[in-house]
Chain A
Amino acid sequence: MAVALNNRRREAEVTLTEIVEKYPDFPRLVALKIDVQRRGVHYTERAESVVDSSIHQMRSPYIFGSRDGQIRPLPESLILRDGTSILTDPTPLEQNPYLVDLVDGRLALINEGEVVEFVELWPKPRYYDKQTSSGVPMSHIASARPQRLNIFQSSFCHFWAEKQECRFCDIVNHTKQQKDELGVPTRLKPRDVYETVREALKEPGRFTGMCLTAGSVLKGEEIFDREVDYYIETLQAIGENFTTKKFPSQLIASAFNEKQLARLYEQTGLMSYTSDLEVLGEKMFNWICPGKAQSVGYREWRQRLIRAVDIFGRGNVGTGLVGGVELAKPSGFTNEDDALASTLAEAEYLAEHGVTTVYIVWVPRPGSYFRDQQNPSLDYFVRLARGLHNLRVKYGLGVDFDDYRRCGNHPDTDLSRLL
């Protein structure tokens, strides 16, 4: 299944160097990560010539698609010399991505012909070469990050069936593409997940945590009951691999009620819970996440997060934002200052109640409703990272379950390495 692309060329904007000068207390390497995520990467032929699929992790099944709309055998992603992961994907040259090129025998990020930083590719985990007893490649069951296992147990989202998908999301279009081109299962069997985790654990020092996520499942006696059942079944299967009941883990799921959350906490080894509001503020939420708005509603979604703190504890409950989507056209904020002020005010309300807020950089993907749009400036994303980090400092909120190592996709939690 091909995904249509639209070319976007950026207007002249503030550069990384200017941003680093403007915010001397903000780490240059984290600002670089943000900028690479904003703009994407293009691997030159020279760079591709040194990629070795026997030691480097190649692109594996993921819940979202890439900016070029293709599934090609390219490196999964990059890691910087400070241990910062950059989750980014191949991007058409017309969109002015960073280049990954070979310089003096090493891979480097290049901008405007200059070396910005040397980088390394993610190491391939050993289990990627194995299959489950049912014959599924284990790389299709769990995809790796430098220190985390990702288990996308079901990549179908019921909001899509009702054409009420989140406007930045391409999950179902990408799922179809992965199924057609790679044969990736759309729903994982708990036994396959158990076997894959068991194999992954045979590599000492490779993983510090795991994350389960999937699309929303509305079915059940109460909304999301079926989704909860499936997570419990999978987490229990995973738990058979551990000697302790609890194991470092994150679930990113729908907004469950207290009964559902208690079942998850009591019946599984799960240690943290995240439910993504995606965008803060009721008006934006209603526009950008119509399915979530109609099924649960902004205020109730927020309350369910707050109630989850009583079950999982402070510092173990979070919500994720698609940072920058609040500036989408035509109904988003029209200036970055207003967007930032509104987002941070809402995030502060959540922090006061023990819920931590993290963001990923919004990438308008070709399989999403917002595919033709452009994400905000680097300046905006730096200020958003600082703002969310400062709230964690102010309210003494930890974010160990979703930090630079156990996740690696949130510039704001990269900063928590100093907390």
Chain B
Amino acid sequence: MAVQLTNEIIDLLNNQETTKVLATLDADGFPHAALKQSLQPGENDTILYLEFLESSRTNKNLVRSIWFDKKVAIALRGQGGECYQIKGTPVKTHIAGPLFQEHYAAVREKHGDVDLAAVWVIEPEEIIDETFAVRRAEEEAAHPLFLHLDRRARQG
């Protein structure tokens, strides 16, 4: 079930200073996480991932995902410490056509003599706010027993 991207997520995806990680699954089910600064917002609440290398592990894993309905996860960390995890599914890849060529020209303009293998379209299905302060508040509210006693010990 697709979910909407919030403005904050879209801003994070648009910001080149954001740390962006894409995690995929290999044939044996092992996670493969890699920094992927080319993650960016797409149309209709999707996320685009520009793959520069046809033979990369991530690209193969994404092919496997679109063929066999495997999920991927994206982690974003902004400069202010805000963190999000987005779980989703690759639903399309552009290996030719107008959108592909538009990004091909853009990446070569930006990065010089590089190639572009694919523009992947990822549909987000779940967004989790992983910002520490937010998660800590959630845990303290939901699991008041999850703490070490010394944190509550009277001092002196």
Contacts and interface: CB of A to CB of B under 8 A. Distances in A.
B127 interface: no
Interface string B102-114: 0011001000000
Interface string B66-84: 1110000000000000000
A272 to B, nearest CB: 16
A146 B96 contact: yes
Given A203-B101, A205-B116, A28 B67 contact: yes
Contacts of B93: 81-83
A183 B101 CA distance: 32
Main secondary structure on A side of the interface with B: loop
A120 B63 contact: no
A27 B97 contact: no
Contacts of B94: 83
A205 B54 CA distance: 14
A204 interface: yes
Interface string A200-211: 000111100000
B147 interface: no
Contact of A204 (B67, B97, B108): B108
A319 interface: no
Given A27-B68, A81-B66, A418-B60, A204 B96 contact: no
Interface in A391-419: 405, 417-419
Contacts of B39: none
A69 interface: no
A81 B91 contact: yes
A147 interface: yes
B105 A123 contact: no
- Most B CB within 10 A of own CB, among A82, A405, A418, A419: A82
B98 A147 contact: no
Given A123-B96, A205-B100, A205-B116, A82 B63 contact: yes
A418 B66 contact: no
A79 interface: yes
A29 interface: yes
Given A83-B96, A205-B100, A418-B60, 16 more contacts: A27-B67, A29-B66, A79-B97, A82-B66, A83-B95, A120-B97, A122-B96, A123-B96, A146-B95, A147-B95, A147-B96, A203-B101, A204-B104, A204-B108, A205-B105, A418-B63
Interface of B: 27, 54, 60, 63-64, 66-68, 91-98, 100-101, 104-105, 108, 116, 118
Interface of A: 27-30, 79, 81-83, 120, 122-123, 146-147, 203-206, 405, 417-419
Query: 6 tightest CB-CB pairs across the interface, nearest first?
Result: A205-B104, A146-B96, A27-B67, A83-B95, A81-B92, A205-B101
